[in-house]
Chains A and B, each alone.
Chain A
Amino acid sequence: MAPDLRQNTPVARALRARLLPLLAALFIAMSCLAQEPPYFVTYSDYMEEPGNLDMTLKGVNGTPKYGNPFLSQTLELEYGAKGWWTTEVYLAGQHTSDDSTIFTGWRWENRFRPLSGEHFINPVFYVEYENVSLADKSLLEITGHDSVSDLLLTNAQGRSKTERSLETKLILSSKARGWDISENFIAEKDLNESDPWEFGYSLGVSRPLAMAARGKACVVCPENFSAGAELYGGLGTIDGFGLRATSHYFGPTIQFRVPRGPSITFSPNFGLNANSVGVLYRFDVSYEVEQIFHHWGEK
Chain B
Amino acid sequence: MSRQGGCCAIVLGVAITCAAAEASWIEKVPQGDQERANPYAKQTAAIAAGSRLFANNCAQCHGSDALGRGKRPSLRTPEVQQATDGEVFWLLKNGNRRHGMPSWNSLPEPSRWQIVAYVKSLGESIPSSPACATREKQR
Kindly identify which residue among A44, A47, A49, A83 contacts B98, using a CB–CB cutoff of 8 Å. Answer: A83
Report if B108 contacts A (CB, 8 A).
Answer: yes
Given the interface contacts A35-B107, A213-B114, A215-B46, does A83 sit within 8 Å of B95 by beta carbon? Answer: yes
Question: How many contacts A-B (CB < 8 Å)?
Answer: 97
Interface: B61 (CB within 8 A): yes
Residue total for A at the interface (Cβ-Cβ under 8 A): 38
**A contact residues around B8 at 8 Å (CB):** none
The answer on a CB contact under 8 Å between B102 and A50 is yes
**B2 on interface, CB distance cutoff 8 Å:** no
Q: Which of A3-11, A112-120, A231-239 contacts B (4 or more CB under 8 A)?
A: A112-120
Interface bin, chain B: 35 or more
B52 touches A32 (CB 8 A): no
CB pair A49–B56 under 8 Å, yes or no, is no
Q: Tell me if B45 is interfacial: C-beta within 8 Å of chain A.
A: yes
Interface of B, secondary structure class, is helix
- Contact residues, A214-235 vs B (CB, 8 A): 214-217, 223
A33 and B100 form a contact (CB under 8 A):
no
Quick one: which of B80-136 are within 8 Å of A by CB? 93-111, 114
Q: At the interface, yes or no: B17 with Cβ under 8 Å from chain A?
A: no
B46, B99, B111: which has the most chain A beta carbons within 10 Å? B111
Q: Is A84 an interface position by the 8 A CB rule?
A: yes
A113-B97 CB under 8 A given contacts A212-B49, A216-B48, A290-B60: yes
- B106 & A118 in contact (Cβ 8 Å cutoff): no
Docked-complex contact A83 and B100, CB < 8 angstroms: yes
Contact of A83 among B56, B59, B101, B106 (CB under 8 A): B101
In this assembly, does B70 line the interface, its C-beta being within 8 Å of a C-beta of chain A?
A: yes
| Closest chain B residue, CB of each to CB of A291 | B60
How far is the CB of B129 from the nearest CB of chain A, in Å? 14
Within 8 A of B (CB), among A46-96: 46-47, 49-52, 80, 82-84
- A49 in contact with B61 given A37-B106, A83-B100 (CB within 8 Å): yes
Q: Smallest distance from the beta carbon of A121 to chain B beta carbons, Å?
A: 13
Q: Is the beta-carbon distance between B49 and A82 smaller than 8 angstroms? A: no
A215 touches B97 (CB 8 A): no
Chain A residues, Cβ within 8 Å of B98: 83-84, 116
Q: How distant is the Cα of A116 from the Cα of B102 in the complex, in angstroms?
A: 10
The secondary-structure label for the interface of chain A is loop
Contact assessment for B70 and A294 in the assembled complex, using a CB-CB cutoff below 8 Å: yes
| Least CB separation from A52: chain B residue | B60
Verify B60–A32 contact, CB threshold 8 A.
yes
Q: Are A215 and B102 in contact (CB under 8 A)?
A: no
- Roughly how many angstroms separate A294 CA and B61 CA in the complex, as a whole number? 10
B108 & A35 in contact (Cβ 8 Å cutoff): no
User: Are B94 and A118 within 8 A (Cβ)?
Assistant: yes
Which A residues are in CB contact (< 8 Å) with B109? 178, 211
CA distance A37 to B61 in the complex (A): 21
Task: Tell me how far the C-beta of B87 lies from the nearest C-beta in chain A, rounded to whole angstroms.
Answer: 14
**A175 neighbours in B (Cβ, 8 Å):** 105-106
A291 touches B61 (CB 8 A): yes
| Residues of chain A at the chain B interface (Cβ within 8 Å) | 32-33, 35-37, 44, 46-47, 49-52, 80, 82-84, 113, 116-118, 175, 178, 180, 208, 210-217, 223, 259-260, 290-291, 294
Binding site for A on B (CB under 8 A): 28, 44-46, 48-50, 52-53, 55-57, 59-61, 69-70, 93-111, 114
